[in-house]
């Protein structure tokens, strides 16, 4: 198997995005890999551009260039804003009045999140709260939060903040009209931070390719496949659900490195560096206290995530900060 075939070994699943037709759609994190692909597939499937929100002007323009050959930077769908700014979000949502929100904006790097937990909390937790509240105020019909497999029985800052976002969205579902759900999946091939892209850069520089542990493994899915299933999950998920995408079997990272080196002609060493704070050998898609239930699409299962109160959010933030400080910096002292 070639490395670019990872994540393509499952039978094709039915993709149904008809529920998006005629809706005003907003994507946060539209300049990122997943957010950008969401924008592209929404435009292709509905014939309309979504509203594309990101704080990084360069990345936002990069997404627009994929959709608008004229590169019209003043078109109304281009929204330059930071999800950390609740006042600005309220103004924008009141003007746009989206029917559907895909919340892809996040801090995603495990190691950086462990080293800078306050920044991860500001973006992943407080940023999500801001987007949820702005969405509630304008009566959004469907809210889809993009989560991660690291949210299942999380051990590090990134996983724990994303787990908290799932619980925040589940809390928004209580007593609210519309549907509020999350989607959970693992590594995405072709994304900016994908391990395959890191390995290719290391190979281009002559190596070594760094692998944290010879037995570490991860789930993989192609970017286009992941986003197509996210769009489908938005139409079938129950309010309060976390929808888990089928990612097949996990793949050893050492095997991925070996494949990429072979494709490049060989001659590159692999260096074992050791697991870093916030990392573990294997990820889960379903936590030990969760029960996955089948749904109408065979590639999407559903779990119920407990809602969190405002006081519970504050307590969990303090636990995340305490755990990050003891785990991340003790190893560097």
pLDDT digits (tens, 9 = 90+) for 122-165: 999 999 999 999 999 999 999 999 999 999 999 999 999 999 99
- Give CA–CA dist 297/229, Å, rounded: 9
Q: Which residues contact 114 (CB under 8 A, 6 or more apart)?
A: 156, 157, 158, 276, 277, 278, 324, 327, 328
For residues 45 and 35, what is the distance between their CA atoms, to the nearest angstrom? 15
pLDDT tens digits, 51-91: 999 999 999 999 999 998 888 888 899 999 999 999 999 99
Helix ranges (DSSP H) in the chain: 33-46, 57-67, 86-96, 110-115, 117-120, 127-137, 157-173, 195-204, 223-236, 253-263, 310-328
Residue with tokens 């597939």: 41
**Which of 45-49, 187-191, 225-229, 284-288 bottoms out in mean pLDDT, i.e. has the lowest?**
187-191
Distance CA 100, CA 25 (A): 5
The C-alpha atoms of residue 150 and residue 284 are separated, in whole angstroms, by 7
Can you tell me the distance from the alpha carbon of 215 to that of 200, in angstroms, rounded to the nearest whole number? 20
Q: Is pLDDT of 189 > 70? A: yes
On the question of pLDDT at 327 being above 50, the answer is no
Which of 155, 166, 162, 167 lies closest to 323, judged by CA? 155
Contacts (Cβ under 8 Å, ≥6 apart) of 98: 24, 25, 26, 51, 135, 138, 140
- Predicted confidence at residue 177, as pLDDT, reads 87
Binned at pLDDT 50, 70 and 90, residue 16 comes out as confident
Alpha-carbon span 165 to 253, nearest angstrom: 28
Confidence of residue 332 (pLDDT cuts 50, 70, 90): very low
> Do residues 37 and 254 touch, judged by C-beta distance below 8 A?
no
* pLDDT score for 330: 38
Mean pLDDT of all residues in 276-289:
90
CA 329 to each of CA 34, 125, 272: distance values in angstroms, whole numbers, following the listed order: 31, 22, 21
* Closest C-alpha to 89, from 133, 126, 56, 34: 133
- Pick the closest to residue 266 from 194, 199, 203 (CA basis): 203
Three-state secondary structure call for residue 9 = coil
Contacts of 288 (CB under 8 A, 6+ apart): 153
Region 231-260 average pLDDT: 94
**Residues recognised as catalytic:** 150
The CATH class of the 3-186+221-246+290-327 domain is alpha beta
Domain boundaries, the chain: 3-186+221-246+290-327
Q: pLDDT class for 5, splitting at 50, 70, 90?
A: low
């Amino acid at each position: 198997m070639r490395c670019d075939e990872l994540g393509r070994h499952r039978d094709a699943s039915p993709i149904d995005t008809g529920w998006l037709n005629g809706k005003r759609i907003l994507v946060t994190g539209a300049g990122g890999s997943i957010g950008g692909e969401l924008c592209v597939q929404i435009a292709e499937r509905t014939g309309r551009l979504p509203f594309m929100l990101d704080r990084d002007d360069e990345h936002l323009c990069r997404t627009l260039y994929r959709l608008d050959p004229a590169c019209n930077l003043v078109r109304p769908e281009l929204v330059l804003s930071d999800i950390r700014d609740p006042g600005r979000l309220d103004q924008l949502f009141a003007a746009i009045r989206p029917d559907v929100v895909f919340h892809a904006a996040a801090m995603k790097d495990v190691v950086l999140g462990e080293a800078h937990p306050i920044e991860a909390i500001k973006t992943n937790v407080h940023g999500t709260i801001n987007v949820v509240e702005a969405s509630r105020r304008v009566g959004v019909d469907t809210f889809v939060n993009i989560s991660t497999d690291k949210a299942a029985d999380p051990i590090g800052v990134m996983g724990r903040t994303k787990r908290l976002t799932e619980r925040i969205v589940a809390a928004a579902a209580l007593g609210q009209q519309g549907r509020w759900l999350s989607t959970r999946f693992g590594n995405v091939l072709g994304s900016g931070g994908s391990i395959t892209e890191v390995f290719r850069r290391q190979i281009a520089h002559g190596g070594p390719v760094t692998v944290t542990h010879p037995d570490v493994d991860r789930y993989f899915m192609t970017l286009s496949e992941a986003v197509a299933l996210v769009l489908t999950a938005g139409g079938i998920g129950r309010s309060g659900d976390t929808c888990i995408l089928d990612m097949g079997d996990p793949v050893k990272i050492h095997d991925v490195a070996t494949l990429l080196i072979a494709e490049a002609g060989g001659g590159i060493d692999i260096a074992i560096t050791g697991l870093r704070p916030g990392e573990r050998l294997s990820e889960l898609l379903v936590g030990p206290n969760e029960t996955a239930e089948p749904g109408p699409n065979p590639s999407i299962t559903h779990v119920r995530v407990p809602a969190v109160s405002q006081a519970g959010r504050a307590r969990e933030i303090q636990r995340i900060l305490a755990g990050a400080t003891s785990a991340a910096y003790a190893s560097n002292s």
